[in-house]
Amino acid sequence: MGQKINLNTRLGEVGDTRALQADGHIDITQGKGFRLSAGSVAAAGTTTADATQTGYGHTLVTTAGANSGIRFESFTAGEVRGVKNIGASTVKVYPPTGGTIDNSAPNGSISLASGIGALFFATADNKVVRGS
């Protein structure tokens, strides 16, 4: 049996920069929830340089103007993040600065239509592929 750690704080809240890392398996027991969330964002900008930067975890895009976008924080190989777009327009999703999504050019975007969600997997640091 591995080491047990009592977590009396809420990690992963919006704006919380602390991280919980483990080599192996994390069990959540006795009805206690564990939320991995970067929170809700409004997409902005029209390039990777001015797109709204997301936090770590899953992201809900609540507002999306025409040609607006979001940009991921850095990805470590093996990480998984989800994005759901409930905004009115299609959102551009950018990789971390210098990274790629679905073998795009560095900093290239993919489109995520309104009402659509997707999972993103890091196959290498800052190299992201979209799940189907």
Who wins on pLDDT, 130 or 17?
130
Q: What is the CATH number of domain 37-130?
A: 2.60.120
Predicted local confidence at residue 8, as pLDDT: 47
Tokens coding 76: 């470590």
The pLDDT tens digits of the residues spanning 83-118 come to 999 999 999 999 999 999 998 999 999 999 999 999
The pLDDT tens digits of the residues spanning 3-38 come to 455 454 444 444 444 455 544 444 444 444 444 556
Rounded Cα distance between 109 and 1, Å, is: 43
Predicted local confidence at residue 31, as pLDDT: 45
Helices (H), the chain: none
What secondary structure letter does DSSP report for 104? P
Rounded Cα distance between 78 and 50, Å, is: 27
